[in-house]
Chain A
């Protein structure tokens, strides 16, 4: 079975440019998460979708970040404009009814460097 698929795997961009990260969750999952991993802050939850609806975006750092889930099989995380402090690994994860203890599956991550 295909796992959570993220693209691009690696991206290097210049400060001020728009960055779009993409995610395809596991088929049949109804919950999707975006996490960010940095050395300083560890793994932080950015936003959580349930049935394609954003439920909790309290972790989104600022208005430069936005996320969408137009359908059950696709989500994007956009940073506009990007800044060097946005350099991090961004993980997408999905699950079916994770509130019951079901496993949350992670993608391989998108490694973003903003120069």
Chain B
């Protein structure tokens, strides 16, 4: 069975600092991996995804993530945090015919001025 673990339910960084949100997955087959962002009172928006092409994936708003099979990880990074990045971030895995997403518990990113 597939699963996702996001390490750290809350992450706090200063504006301009590096953002690192951790995600580890479990999958018996090569997975598809996704990062979604949820701003307060809104739906989920795709940041980026890995679908077995390049292992370093660039997304919107300056975010990127690297698929590391040996570590079963798909950590999300951004070199310099902006106040507008404050939101909840979800890592998700899918594979199989349905493509249904299995989500991690989410990480709330706080950006301090």
Cβ of B49 within 8 Å of any chain A Cβ, yes or no, is yes
* Chain A 67-115 residues near chain B, CB threshold 8 A: 91, 93, 95, 97-109, 111
- How many B residues have CB within 8 A of the partner chain? 25
Q: Is there contact, CB below 8 Å, between A100 and B43? A: no
Contact at A102–B90, with CB atoms within 8 Å?
A: no
Q: Which of B12-65 contact A (CB under 8 A)?
A: 32, 34, 36, 41-46, 49, 51-52
The answer to whether A99 touches B103, judged by C-beta atoms less than 8 angstroms apart, is no
Asked whether, in the complex, the Cβ of A91 is within 8 Å of the Cβ of B98, the reply is no
Does A50 contact B44, Cβ atoms closer than 8 Å?
no
In this assembly, does A61 line the interface, its C-beta being within 8 Å of a C-beta of chain B?
no
Number of interface residues of A (CB under 8 A): 27
Alpha-carbon distance between A56 and B98 when the two chains are bound, in angstroms: 9
Given contacts A43-B90, A91-B44, whether A48 and B32 have CB atoms under 8 Å apart is: no
- Whole-angstrom distance between the alpha carbons of A94 and B59 in the complex? 20
**Cα–Cα, bound, A70→B94 (Å):** 26
- Chain B residues with CB under 8 Å of A42's CB are 103-106
Report how far A104 CA is from B34 CA in the complex, Å: 10
Q: Any chain A CB within 8 A of the CB of B113?
A: no
Within 8 A of B (CB), among A27-78: 31, 33, 42-43, 45, 48, 50, 55-56
**Residues of chain B contacted by A97 (CB below 8 angstroms):** 99
Given A103-B46, A104-B101, output 8 extra A-B contacts at Cβ < 8 Å. A31-B98, A33-B101, A91-B43, A99-B97, A99-B99, A101-B49, A105-B46, A107-B43
Q: List 5 A-B contacts (CB under 8 A).
A: A48-B100, A56-B98, A91-B43, A104-B46, A106-B45
Which 4 pairs from chain A and chain B are nearest by CB? A98-B99, A101-B51, A99-B99, A43-B103
